[in-house]
Amino acid sequence: MDFEEFNAKAKGLVAKIIEQNPIAIIRFGSSIRYEDYIPGVSDLDMVVVSKERIRETSNDLGFEYFYNHPNKFVKDFVNGNPFIMNAVLNGKVVYDPNGFIESLKELSGKGLVIGPTEDTFHYIIQGIGNQLSSAMNRYFSDKGNEGDKVKLLRNVHSAVRGVGIFYAVASKGELPDGYSALLSKLNSSQPELAKFLKSTREYLVNHHEVSPEKSDRVLIGNDELGRVIQTAENVYISGVPIVNARVRTNELIESYQSQRGRLEQTLAVRLNNVEFNHLILGNRNERNYVFGLVETDSQQPEMIEQEVPKEQLKNAYSKLRILV
C-alpha cells in the first residue's frame, strides 16, 4: 500500500488503541517519513505506554505490541534504551492527553542528563546480533517464500543500520533521526558503510529481483541472499570494536567443523552478543547436534558439542531461543 493508505490505516489502529485508555502513543520509524517509506516493506513502529496491557491490537501493518508500563518506560528512557530514546526524541507523539511524554523531554532542561549510556551500546550490539541471527535462521529455514525473504532482507538492513547507529552514537553521542539522517552522517564519516547500508535498502526495495533459490543451503554464502548476510556480519564484526571476539569465535567453529566433519544441513543459528556465545544446530550422518562456543569464567571460551535426539529437537529450538 502507498504512504497515504498506510498512514490512514495507522490512524485507525491508533483510534482503536485510544479506546483502551493508554497513557501515551508515539509513532516512529520509516512509516512516518515519506522519503524513508518503502511500500510493502515498511511496518508500523509504535510505542504504547499504559498502566494495563492493551488487549486489541490486531492489524495488517506489521505492528507488534509490547507492554510498556509507565514506570519501566521512564527507566528505559533514562538508562539509554535506544528504542525508547529514538521514539521519544525523534518520534511523532500521536496521543498524550496528560503531557506524559512532554514532561520527560522537559526533564532534560531541568538537570536530568538524557543521552546515550553504556547500556545504549549493549542494546545496540544485542539488536544487531539478533537481526543477523534471525536473518541466518530464515536463510536456513525451509520456507523460502517471498514474505520470508522480505523479512530476511529487513533483518540484514536493520543489522547494518545498527552498525551505523553504533558509529553515530559513539562519535556524536546522538541517535540519528531515521534512515536518511543516518545515511547523511555516514556519507561523510564512514562512506563504505554508507554505501553498503544504501545497498541493503535497495535490496529491500527490489526484493522481487533477489533470487529465492534454496538449493545447497548448508553453508551460508552459496547464493545471493547468503552473501548479503555474510557481508553484513563481516561489517558487524569488523566495525563494532566490542564484538571483535566474534572473529575468533568463527575461526574456532570453522576449525572444529573441519576436524569433526561438516554439517550436512544447518537447522538454526544462535548468536548471543552479550556473552559472545555462538551456537549452531544442525545434522550430519542422520544425527542432530548443537555445537559452538560458550563463554566461561576462564580466559578461553569453551567449545561444546552435544547430540540432540530427534524427539528433543523442538525443545532444543526453544531452549536456545532460536527463531524458526
Are the CB atoms for 127 and 86 separated by under 8 Å? Answer: no
d(CA 266, CA 220): 9
DSSP 253-322: HHHHHHHH---SEEEEEEEETTTTEEEEEEEETTEEEEEEEE--SSSSPEEEEEEE-GGGHHHHHHHTT-
- Summarised one tens digit per residue, pLDDT across range 207-224 is 877 765 555 555 565 677
- Summarised one tens digit per residue, pLDDT across range 250-296 is 666 666 667 666 677 777 766 665 555 677 777 878 888 887 766 65
Q: Is 255 exposed, middle or buried, given 0-12, 13-18 or 19+ CB atoms closer than 10 A?
A: exposed
C-alpha pair distances (Å), 72 with each of 50, 78, 104: 10, 10, 13
C-alpha pair distances (Å), 182 with each of 93, 127, 207: 21, 17, 22
Q: Which helix (H) or strand (E) holds 78?
A: helix 70-78
Q: Which residues contact residue 222 at a Cβ distance below 8 angstroms, ignoring those fewer than 6 apart?
A: 216
Amino acid 322: pLDDT: 45
Task: Report which of residues 58 and 309 the model is more confident about.
Answer: 58
Q: Which helix (H) or strand (E) holds 197?
A: helix 191-205
User: 95 pLDDT exceeds 70?
Assistant: yes
d(CA 168, CA 174): 7
Task: Report which of residues 178 and 277 the model is more confident about.
Answer: 178
- What is the pTM for the complete model shown? 0.73
| Amino acid in the structure at residue 237 | I
Q: Which residues pair with 170 in a beta bridge?
A: none
- What's the start-to-end Cα distance of the chain, in Å? 27
